């Protein structure tokens, strides 16, 4: 597995176009890899996320992938070809170092959704399959993550019984995909976690969390906990 970071130039037309459509950015990311059948790939899948730094006014594209990427066309069309190249690191050392009990700061952009069952029609015994709808409040989105943490090998640490997670950059994105409008409710989660199952957590880092992974959701990244982070059970 590899983890990469690519600077995007929002002042360029191509950069603006990519950021305006997760479908276009998905296509651009996919073209950074050779056409290898899934059976030929190692564990994991292609995941990506756009991070925007309000302080530095910088935009970064993060990508996790089972194959080593070539981002030349993204840099040439939507990056800073004269000043910045992409960064790419082998993810294996970090993945192999994960153990139960470790604390990490984390970031996740996700598509928090829930299934709403349909009411049965007149004369029918069972409800219809229902629909998938996005969670819209901060409380709902936070609970969505808390409910899924254990399955993915971690728990959110608390400070005086308050989960150490912030929900930010909540958006409703609309874009075209093959002529049809796609609507996504997304949110960014930042917080502190504890690893409770290293294998499941490693899988979450390599395979993502939740839906809409092809559209910039699901990529979980971690960094070292700072001294000022307060972590309690």
User: Which range is least confidently modeled, 168-172, 192-196, 208-212?
Assistant: 168-172
75 and 133 share a domain?
A: no
| pLDDT recorded at residue 194 | 97
The strand pair at 180-195 and 103-110 is best described as antiparallel
Question: Which of the pair, 88 or 176, is modelled with greater confidence?
Answer: 88
Total domains present in the chain:
2
Sign of CA dihedral 27, 223, 72, 169: positive
Averaged over 176-189, what is the pLDDT?
85
Residue 230 has pLDDT above 60, yes or no: no
Last residue within a domain, chosen from 95, 122, 143: 95
pLDDT tens digits for 136-171? 789 999 999 999 999 999 999 998 888 999 998 888
Residue 84 lies in a domain: yes
- pLDDT of residue 133 exceeding 90, the answer is no
Residue 156 sits in the same domain as residue 104? yes
Q: What is the mean pLDDT of residues 30-48?
A: 79
- 60 & 169 share domain: no
Range with top average pLDDT, 80-84, 133-137, 212-216, 225-229: 212-216
Stretch 109-117: mean pLDDT, rounded? Answer: 86
For residues 116 and 170, membership in a common domain is answered with yes
Q: End of a domain among 38, 61, 95?
A: 95
Beta strand segments in the chain, E: 2-8, 47-53, 58-65, 87-90, 103-110, 113-116, 131-134, 154-156, 158-159, 162-163, 165-177, 180-195, 220-224
| pLDDT score for 140 | 92
> Does residue 69 lie in a domain region?
yes
The boundaries of the domain holding residue 162 are: 98-224
What's the pLDDT score for residue 228? 56
- Assign residue 223 a region: left if phi > 0, alpha if psi is -120 to 50, beta otherwise? beta
Residue 81 lies in a domain: yes
Among 95, 127, 148, identify where a domain stops: 95
């Amino acid at each position: 597995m590899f983890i990469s970071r690519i600077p995007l130039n929002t002042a360029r037309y191509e950069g603006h176009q990519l950021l305006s459509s997760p479908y276009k950015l998905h296509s651009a990311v996919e073209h950074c890899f050779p056409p290898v059948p899934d059976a030929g790939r190692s564990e994991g899948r292609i995941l990506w996320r756009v991070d925007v730094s309000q302080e530095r006014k910088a935009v970064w594209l993060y990508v996790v992938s089972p194959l080593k990427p070539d981002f030349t066309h993204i840099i040439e069309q939507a990056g800073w070809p004269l000043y910045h190249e992409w960064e790419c690191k082998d993810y294996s050392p970090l993945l192999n170092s994960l153990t139960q009990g470790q604390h990490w700061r984390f970031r996740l952009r996700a598509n928090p959704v829930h299934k709403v069952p349909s009411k049965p029609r007149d004369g029918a015994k069972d409800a219809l399959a229902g629909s998938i709808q996005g969670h819209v409040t901060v409380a709902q989105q936070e609970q969505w993550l808390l409910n899924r943490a254990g399955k993915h090998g971690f728990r959110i640490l608390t400070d005086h019984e308050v989960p150490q997670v912030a929900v930010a950059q909540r958006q409703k994105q609309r874009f075209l995909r093959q002529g049809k409008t796609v609507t996504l409710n997304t949110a960014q989660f930042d917080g502190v976690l504890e690893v409770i199952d290293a294998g499941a957590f490693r899988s979450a880092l390599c395979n993502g969390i939740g839906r809409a992974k092809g559209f910039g959701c699901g990529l979980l990244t971690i960094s070292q906990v700072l001294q000022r982070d307060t972590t309690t059970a």
